[in-house]
Homo-oligomer: A and B are copies of this chain.
């Protein structure tokens, strides 16, 4: 059994900050659960365009409001606590937080935790792991 506290993750290298968002990775690939599990904050006023080409992601909004636009259909959905969206078709999308949005995120396959650093050039490409492009979460 793995037991972790969000407040401990916040102070560790499992808490990743990037442009417009930060994410506390409660579970990563190495934990062997078959998914990764994050608590992510998307900052008010940002416009976060994302496209997970190699991952499925589900997001449950815990706090905050905003919108998500499905760039495939052009449909915009309101985000508020209790709204869940699932990117079951590698959907290209834009999240526009009106306030800071706190959410619980699940990725399949699990992310390794190195993707963000990889995109920033801090690490070489992880050749045994599909790349996350334009990734946040």
Contact = CB atoms under 8 A, between A and B. Distances in A.
B1 A85 contact: yes
Contact of A33 (B4, B6, B26, B108): B108
A130 interface: no
Contact of A85 (B2, B84, B88, B91): B2
Interface string A64-104: 00001010110001000011111111010100000000001
Given A2-B86, A4-B86, A35-B106, 11 more contacts: A1-B68, A1-B73, A1-B87, A3-B85, A5-B82, A6-B84, A26-B60, A34-B56, A35-B108, A37-B58, A39-B60
A93 B1 CA distance: 9
Interface in A21-37: 26-27, 31-35, 37
Nearest to A90: B1
Given A58-B27, A104-B60, A86 B1 contact: yes
Contacts of A58: 26-27, 33, 35, 37
A2 B11 CA distance: 33
